[in-house]
Amino acid sequence: MHKRWPEHISVRDLCSGFLLFLTVFFIASCVSPAQRIDDIAAENNFERRVVSGDGFRHIVYLKITRSSNPRLHVYIEGDGKPWLHGRYIAQDPTTQRPLALELAKLDNENVLYLGRPCYMGLFDDDVCEDKYWTSARYSAEVVESMSAVVSRIAEELKFNKVTLIGYSGGGTLAMLMSSDSTFKLSSYLDSVVTVAANLDVAAWIRQHNYLPLTESLDPLLAHYPESINFMHYIGADDGNVSAEQTLNFVAKHGGRYKILEAVDHSCCWLQHWPELLMRDVNPMGSKVE
């Protein structure tokens, strides 16, 4: 026995519905990574700004929830997609999955989501050579410009305590921003938190057989002020950044670390983040106030 479509649904209705589905699908697929970040930030009451650093412009998002609190949590995103299919340099390296922004959404402190040079739609800026998201993604120029933005925001809004929180390559930059050689935040910075961060760049490159980042700095080779508190989170199942690399970094430079079971490079940091903030990150910052 053949089944028939319900009598109240016509072929025309079906075609119209299918066309609507296709339209929504293609519109969604055409949303740029920068627009996606902008939408997520707007939905969560972040204020968007374009701020000049040291030689670069930066997109930043601010959420001030405790104006009387002198502390600012600065979140830095990962490397995104510098390469397409491992062979072609991307025109826009901005991540499709902004995990650092998703972490920032869960934070009840004052939050700054700090964009990297040439990311989040700024790749057309005159100074934006593609080396700034490939070989020079961790260069001194990048680090100093990001530090300058944090300094300007902290001065403007009267924050005198800053915690840098970096995910993946953003953790690499957070460590370099706190190192002696590029340290521009001495008046503000007192704690740094890394999440699944590649802190031994040379070992990470060897692990994946990547091209050398010839114009970048390596956190393993830097030196750090003793006044700063460091916390490094490691995913036990992370295949992108091995636990061994982070543990080698800690053995050389000190700092606290925690290995989270059943967590890889992207999963399941969001589920753990509220507890990590409460138990580790916020108390770590309060110790130096």
pLDDT of residue 196: 98
Tell me how far apart the alpha carbons of residues 217 and 228 are, in angstroms, rounded to a whole number: 20
Alpha helix (H) ranges present in 65-182? 99-105, 140-157, 169-177
Confidence (pTM): 0.89
Tell me how far apart the alpha carbons of residues 279 and 268 are, in angstroms, rounded to a whole number: 17
pLDDT of residue 180: 82
Tell me how far apart the alpha carbons of residues 105 and 277 are, in angstroms, rounded to a whole number: 12
Tallying the residues shown for the chain, one arrives at 289
Classify 196 in phi/psi space as left (phi over 0), alpha (psi -120 to 50) or beta: left
Q: Assess whether pLDDT exceeds 80 at residue 185.
A: no
pLDDT of residue 174: 97
**CA-based torsion, 69, 70, 71, 72: positive or negative:** positive
Q: Is the pLDDT higher at 23 or at 78? A: 78
Name the pLDDT band for 146 (thresholds 50, 70, 90): very high
**Amino acid occupying residue 273:** W
The burial class, CB within 10 Å (0-12 / 13-18 / 19+), for 41 is: buried
How many Cβ atoms from other residues are within 10 Å of residue 229's Cβ? 17
C-alpha closest to that of 48 among 36, 33, 38, 35: 38
Q: What is the rounded average pLDDT of the residues 59-63?
A: 98
Q: Is the pLDDT higher at 279 or at 26? A: 279
pLDDT of residue 162: 96
pLDDT of residue 1: 43
Alpha helix (H) ranges present in the chain? 11-29, 33-43, 99-105, 140-157, 169-177, 201-208, 243-253, 269-276, 282-286
Structure tokens at 218: 């390596």
pLDDT of residue 31: 86
Mean pLDDT of the chain: 89
Neighbouring residues of 180: CB distance < 8 A, sequence distance ≥ 6: 222, 223, 224, 225
Q: Assess whether pLDDT exceeds 90 at residue 16.
A: no
Ordered domains of the chain (ranges, CATH): 32-286 (3.40.50.1820)
Tell me how far apart the alpha carbons of residues 177 and 146 are, in angstroms, rounded to a whole number: 8
Lowest mean pLDDT among 20-24, 150-154, 202-206: 20-24
